[in-house]
């Protein structure tokens, strides 16, 4: 391999994302995808989420811009402002950044994973620009919905609503 090849390989490598965080992962746990203030799903300012139509779970008003995988599993959905992960533990989670942010068409979001990728809980998946979301006029709360909630007896918060959590900390407990 010549000197030129070495440079070429570097140029082709994917942009390095932020470092992973330590996740409090377990078979029945969903970890916080972002650092911030936790609210109940029923308090999310959008009926699609507050009505738990997408699933039970919670949302977090973010203090930080990096969003991490809440479970270890396989990436099944990547949409710029949202990521879906099918957990190795059978828990399917949709992490949706902001309300009506679909109209930003991916601008203001940097994705670090693709459909089919294996991810670990606490691995960075998307970085948002809070400034870009504010500029678009949207709330930036990060919804963490268990999209296959109907398969479980219960999905409950493991922390008090309105408390602040760090990314990777346990936030939801699933009862199978």
Within 13 A of 23's CA, how many CA atoms are on the CB side? 26
Structure tokens at 18: 């932020």
**Residue 42 gets which letter from DSSP?**
G
CB of 73 to other proteins, least distance (A): 11
Coil/strand/helix, residue 143: strand
- Tokens 């990096």 belong to 66
Q: C-beta of 102: minimal distance to other proteins in Å?
A: 5
User: Which position among 24, 50, 76, 166 is part of the footprint of other proteins (CB under 8 A)?
Assistant: 76
**Residue 54 binds other proteins, judged by CB under 8 A:** yes
Binding of residue 82 to other proteins (CB under 8 A): yes
- Name the one range near other proteins by CB under 8 A: 63-71, 98-106, 153-161, 162-170: 98-106
DSSP 20: P
CA distances from 137 to 98, 99, 104, 119, 133 (A): 10, 10, 10, 31, 6
**Minimal distance, residue 41 CB to other proteins, in Å:** 13
Question: Given the complex with other proteins, which of 21 and 119 has the nearer CB atom?
Answer: 119
Given the rule CB under 8 A, which residues bind other proteins? 48, 53-55, 76-77, 79, 82, 84, 86, 92, 94, 96, 102-103, 105, 115, 147-148
């Amino acid at each position: 391999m010549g000197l030129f090849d070495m440079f070429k390989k570097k140029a082709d490598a994917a942009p390095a994302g932020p470092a992973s965080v330590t996740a409090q992962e377990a078979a029945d746990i969903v970890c916080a995808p972002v650092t911030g203030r936790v609210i109940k799903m029923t308090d999310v300012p959008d009926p699609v989420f507050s009505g738990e139509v997408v699933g039970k779970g919670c949302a977090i008003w973010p203090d930080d811009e990096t969003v991490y995988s809440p479970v270890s599993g396989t990436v099944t959905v990547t949409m710029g402002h949202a990521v879906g992960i099918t957990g190795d533990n059978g828990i399917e989670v949709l992490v949706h950044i902001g309300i009506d942010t679909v109209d930003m068409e991916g601008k203001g979001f940097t994705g670090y994973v693709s459909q089919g990728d294996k991810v670990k809980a606490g691995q960075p998946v998307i970085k948002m620009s809070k400034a870009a979301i504010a500029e678009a006029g949207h709330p930036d709360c990060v919804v963490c919905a268990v999209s296959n909630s109907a398969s479980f007896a219960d999905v409950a918060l493991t922390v008090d609503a309105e408390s602040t959590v760090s990314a990777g900390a346990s936030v939801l407990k699933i009862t199978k």
